[in-house]
Chains A and B, each alone.
Chain A
């Protein structure tokens, strides 16, 4: 046994996270915010479980929704059995059933998919995902076909006045499971398996020389990850009270990949940020515009091209600069770049919205954008938005050079100061 001092920073971090989870519904108390936060909780678990594959194990999967979706299907049937009185289990423990179901399917499919790594793994996971999706439509008896299986989460007698009918109670259920899963997944990264998964990701050949079977390590990592995916599927089933073929579809699998990557694959907390941003795009932005998927795709492409470490890396990059008390020098170039980006975005949004309006003329071509009314068929708005976009892009090119120059100067200074 070695002496381990209490890691105060870590306790503060987890404590704050728990406090945020508890306090969030008090601050954002509207029902819209509550549904959004509940979805964020399930998405956080899902994205973290996905990052166990992509970030920690180096496995790019295009079929992760299989495990959460099948976990959700098993949960919905279990919940219906509870409703009929054929099964006796408390609702808060249902995610465990979903998790175990996910784990079982992880064992089944993981045996095939984890035989290969790299690009081939990506393709096979895609194929397995498509196979499961086709199977779900093939057996309408169990999976309910296109319409899906619906349920009612209020079963049995209320316990201490908690019936899980109101949305706020579901939120706290999701929050509790989310916190527990976050802690469990973080703990897993510290175990020998977690470390070996990193080794297999970085250099499979050396890992084999040390005496580990890389296929076995990938398999175990995938099975554990599918457990957490199943938990998130079960929670979304409890939240929405319906499970349909969309839950196992390629759209879901792609969504979790987008969320995880946007947040930041190399860091444990990256997917948490990513899940929050992703749900914001899906739930909040889709209410405003039909083109939200286009904006999400563009945002994702920008991240792939310019920030492959995701939002988390962008935040962490600033820390050494702030610590050296040099952030003030960067503030001005950052502001300029932000303004330029904002101008370019305004132009782009205007053009995209106009094209959308013209492609579907049933609602007329008159439109209203941020308080400005105009006709999408007339020339002036096109010229104005085009000019905004062009000017914004040109300014962005100039200001990013400014940021780069400033950043490089600070980095060379910091490097020179290092002992």
Chain B
């Protein structure tokens, strides 16, 4: 198994880890968003979604540990890559100018990443680890978004997530070598559409709860 450790420790191996875990998170975001849409059905609909989801135990716990493992791999590998990339150019240029290759997403990946990590921790403490013995998830969520500060924090956070995904999605395909003249334009379009869906889809929920509930 020595060859395997060497492989994932190489520059391309580390990128492969980022790509696989990143695509995993894209899948998670899609499922999470689909589930969250039940909140537009009202209190009963959202609580019922939550109950049905947790009726799938132990699958939910397994998925949670899987996501945690992915997160640890994604964050640690990302941190190593960021550090190595900084070290690869010890003396910086006095003038930096893009030739048009970089995007808002690509140039901010490490920074949006660290902000997302902070947000995920905040988000889990808020909703995931909240005491649900005496209250329902709908009450917790709708209660939280009565505060404008929460709404603003969540909108900023999902905007950051959208920017991160806008580069991450197509970049993951490029890294795993799936760059094909026929499909790459489609992958890039899906990446853009998906990042907009993440931004608008998750961002609309706090606004909806704040205004209408």
Real complex partners, A and B?
A: no
**Interfacial residues, chain B to chain A (CB-CB below 8 A):** none
**Interfacial residues, chain A to chain B (CB-CB below 8 A):** none
